[in-house]
């Protein structure tokens, strides 16, 4: 059976990776730029996200309203998002609208004009977004936690959205300087998955995004991240709940131990049978939301446990988290639990492959990390081969007590001593 994934280089060297799935009625197309918050200079804080917004504010041939009306008429979804290391622009569309949807996305990406009057309006939109995040404590605590896990002057410790002051300072000149430095052909991948015609998409891509100029100088190196001090950090705010994050060291993307870290994260807080979900929510009823997550960057990573609870329950919840982290650092995971966790991870992975957006995203990530698509069997086999000794080693790396970072947001002036509830 031939490989359904096609990889071709556009005239300027940008890879176009396509995965045709003819039995579907839709497809997803994305333009991925290997740049984000950690690639910004201090005076550019938030420019990756601001720039992502402004691409949609008009091109040489379309107004912002034209763009919105045309994607709605196609029954599709045109959007973008910014992370700490990547920015993505994508369109999801019905298969018979591929040419029109791709033409719209490529036009937005290659011919945006960034008119000053639109920039002025969008500054206010982004400022309202910053305020909205600060009104969502579960989201805001993760931003605060990043500033504690990583030194706030380090790029990974800064918020993605920027500040009101930094956003107000952004103008057309700043945008053009950032585009010239980071939006180069060496930093871009185009990927697509679903019911699509790879050859037709290649022709359209090559006449648009394939004409972006190559950089004349190498892409600047990203500074190494700086870890913040371990310990507890309290951010007082009059809220009904206290929002807690407990973090530790993770792994860089592509690390050889990544599969064991996936298992550790999942058994702690990745599903309804995970240890923290069962102990804190199901057995004790102390929180509605409790979970964990592992984030990998180019050269480092972080693991974070989150729980939201009443101020009165905060000592118990923090104590239960600490107790479970201590346990996973000292006791091997029983084989039945390990097997259950393997099954949950593999199931989540395979169910995610039902989405053309997830498939398209995975193609781009594989290209950035490995330079080629990776068979799904590599992930499945890697998960299957994890044993309890590897999980124990990852737990000790991630959650050594001396390196844990705790962030609390809520009606507390200080973080009380943790004390687990009676068994």
State pLDDT tens for residues 83-108.
999 999 999 999 999 999 999 999 99
Calpha distance 60→69 (Å, rounded): 16
- Domains of the chain, by residue range, sit at 6-211, 231-410
Strand runs labelled E in 1-108: 6-9, 15-20, 26-33, 77-82, 87-94
Calpha distance 422→316 (Å, rounded): 9
pLDDT above 90: residue 262 = yes
State pLDDT tens for residues 364-415.
999 999 999 999 999 999 999 999 999 999 999 999 999 999 999 999 988 7
Calpha distance 115→95 (Å, rounded): 33
Q: pLDDT at position 414, please?
A: 84
Q: pLDDT at position 214, please?
A: 64
Q: pLDDT at position 219, please?
A: 59
State pLDDT tens for residues 292-346.
999 999 999 999 999 999 999 999 999 999 999 999 999 999 999 999 999 999 9
Q: How confident is the model at residue 189 (pLDDT cuts 50, 70, 90)?
A: very high
* 3-state SS, residue 89: strand
Strand runs labelled E in 108-152: none
Q: pLDDT at position 96, please?
A: 95
pLDDT above 90: residue 11 = yes
How is residue 195 written in tokens? 């019911």
Q: How confident is the model at residue 222 (pLDDT cuts 50, 70, 90)?
A: low
| Burial profile 9-31: b = 16 or more Cβ within 10 angstroms, e = fewer | ebebebbbbbbbeeeeebbbbbb
Q: Provide, for the chain, the percentages of residues in helix, strand and coil under a 3-state DSSP scheme, each rounded to the nearest 5.
A: 50, 20, 35
CATH T-level assignment (fold) for domain 6-211: Cytochrome Bc1 Complex; Chain A, domain 1 (3.30.830)
* 306, 321, 396, 413 from 330: Cα distances, Å: 21, 14, 8, 32
CA angle 313, 319, 322 (to 5 degrees): 140
Calpha distance 328→344 (Å, rounded): 19
* 129, 138, 274 from 135: Cα distances, Å: 10, 9, 29
Q: pLDDT at position 2, please?
A: 46
- Tell me the pLDDT of the chain averaged across its residues: 93
Q: pLDDT at position 381, please?
A: 97
pTM attached to this predicted model: 0.94
Calpha distance 253→129 (Å, rounded): 29
State pLDDT tens for residues 226-237.
788 888 999 999
Q: pLDDT at position 218, please?
A: 64
* 3-state SS, residue 417: coil
- Write down the architecture of domain 231-410 according to CATH: 2-Layer Sandwich (3.30)
Which residues are catalytic, by number? 52
Show the 3-state SS of 273-315: CCHHHHHHHHHCCCCCCEEEEEEECCCCEEEEEEEEECHHHHH
CA atoms within 13 A on the CB side of 344: 19
Task: Give yes or no for a contact between 398 and 304, defined as CB atoms under 8 angstroms apart.
Answer: no
Q: Which residue's structure tokens are 């507390």?
A: 412
Calpha distance 248→230 (Å, rounded): 9
Q: How confident is the model at residue 7 (pLDDT cuts 50, 70, 90)?
A: very high
Q: Which of 115, 127, 128 is nearest to 55 (CA)?
A: 115
User: Between the ranges 176-180, 211-215, 255-259, where is the mean pLDDT highest?
Assistant: 255-259
Q: pLDDT at position 85, please?
A: 95
How large is the average pLDDT for residues 247-268? 97
Percent of the chain topping pLDDT 70: 95
CA angle 3, 9, 12 (to 5 degrees): 170
Percent of the chain topping pLDDT 90: 89
Fold match between domain 6-211 and domain 231-410: yes
């Amino acid at each position: 059976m031939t490989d359904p994934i096609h990889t071709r280089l556009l005239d300027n060297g940008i890879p176009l990776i396509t995965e045709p799935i003819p039995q579907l009625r839709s497809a997803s197309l994305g333009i991925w730029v290997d740049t984000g918050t950690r690639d910004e200079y201090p005076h550019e804080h938030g420019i990756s996200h601001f720039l992502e917004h402004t691409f949609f504010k008009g091109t040489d041939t379309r107004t912002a309203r034209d763009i919105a009306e045309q994607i709605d008429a196609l029954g599709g979804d045109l959007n973008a998002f910014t992370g700490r290391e990547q920015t993505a622009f994508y369109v999801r569309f019905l298969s018979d609208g591929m040419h029109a949807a791709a033409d719209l996305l490529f036009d937005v990406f290659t011919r945006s004009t960034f008119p000053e009057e639109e920039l002025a309006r969008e500054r206010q939109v982004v400022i309202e977004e910053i305020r909205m995040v600060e009104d969502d404590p579960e989201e805001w605590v993760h931003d605060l936690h990043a500033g504690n896990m990583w030194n706030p002057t380090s790029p990974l410790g800064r918020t993605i959205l920027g500040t009101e002051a930094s956003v107000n300072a952004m103008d057309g000149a700043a945008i053009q300087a950032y585009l010239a430095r980071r939006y180069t052909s060496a930093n871009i991948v185009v990927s697509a998955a679903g019911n699509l015609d790879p050859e037709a998409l290649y022709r359209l891509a090559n006449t648009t995004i394939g004409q972006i100029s190559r950089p004349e100088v190498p892409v600047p190196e990203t500074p190494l991240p700086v870890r913040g001090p371990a310990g507890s950090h309290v951010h007082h705010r009059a809220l009904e709940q206290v929002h807690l994050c407990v973090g530790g060291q993770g792994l860089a993307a592509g690390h050889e131990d990544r599969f064991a870290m996936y298992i550790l994260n999942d058994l702690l807080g990745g599903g309804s049978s995970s240890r923290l979900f069962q102990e804190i929510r199901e057995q004790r009823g102390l929180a509605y939301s409790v979970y964990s997550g592992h984030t990998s960057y180019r050269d480092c990573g972080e693991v974070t446990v989150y729980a939201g609870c009443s101020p009165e329950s905060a000592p118990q919840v923090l104590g239960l988290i600490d107790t479970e982290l201590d346990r996973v650092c000292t006791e091997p995971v029983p084989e039945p639990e390990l097997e259950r966790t393997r099954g949950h991870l593999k199931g989540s992975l395979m169910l995610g492959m039902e989405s053309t957006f997830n498939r398209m995203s995975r193609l781009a990530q594989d290209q950035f990390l490995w330079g080629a698509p990776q068979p799904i069997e590599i992930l499945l086999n890697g998960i299957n081969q994890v044993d309890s000794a590897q999980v124990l080693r990852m737990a000790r790396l991630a959650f050594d007590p001396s390196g844990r970072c705790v962030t609390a947001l809520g009606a507390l002036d200080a973080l009380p001593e943790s004390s687990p509830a009676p068994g």
